[in-house]
Amino acid sequence: MFKDQTHKILIIGGGAAGFFAAIACAGQNPEADILILERGKDVLAKVKVSGGGRCNVTNGCFDPRELVKNYPRGSKALLGPFNRFCTGDTMDWFDKRGVPLKIEDDGRVFPVSDNSQSIIDCLWGEAQKAGVRIFRNQRVVQIYPPEEQNQRWKVMTGTGVAHFADKVLVAAGSSKSVWEMIEHLGHTLVPPVPSLFTFNVKDPRITDLPGVSVPQAQVRIQGTKFQAEGPLLITHWGFSGPGILRLSAWAARELHDLEYQFQILINWAYPLQLQELQDRLPAFKEENARKPIFKNNPTGMPQRLWRRLVEQLAIDPEQPWGNLGKKALNQLANELFSASFSVKGKSAFKDEFVTAGGIELKEVDFKTFESRIHKGLYFAGEVLDIDAITGGFNFQAAWTGGWIAGHALAEKE
Distance CA 291, CA 300 (A): 16
Its pTM stands at 0.90
Q: In this structure, are strands 167-170 and 377-379 parallel, antiparallel, or unpaired?
A: parallel
Distance CA 160, CA 291 (A): 77
- For residues 204 and 185, the answer to whether their CB atoms sit within 8 Å is no
**What's the one-letter identity of residue 283?**
A
User: pLDDT confidence of 352, banded at 50, 70, 90?
Assistant: low
Question: Radius of gyration (Cα) for the chain, nearest Å?
Answer: 25
Per-residue model confidence as pLDDT tens digits over 120-145: 999 999 999 999 999 999 999 999 99
Per-residue model confidence as pLDDT tens digits over 216-231: 999 999 999 999 999 9
Per-residue model confidence as pLDDT tens digits over 163-217: 999 999 999 998 999 999 999 999 999 999 999 999 999 999 999 999 999 999 9
Q: Under DSSP, is residue 331 helix (H, G, I), strand (E, B) or coil?
A: helix
Domains of the chain: 8-193+351-410 (3.50.50.60), 197-348 (no CATH)
- Angle separating helix axes 87-96 and 393-410, nearest 10 degrees: 70
| Cβ atoms < 10 Å from Cβ of 289 | 12
- For residues 35 and 11, the answer to whether their CB atoms sit within 8 Å is yes
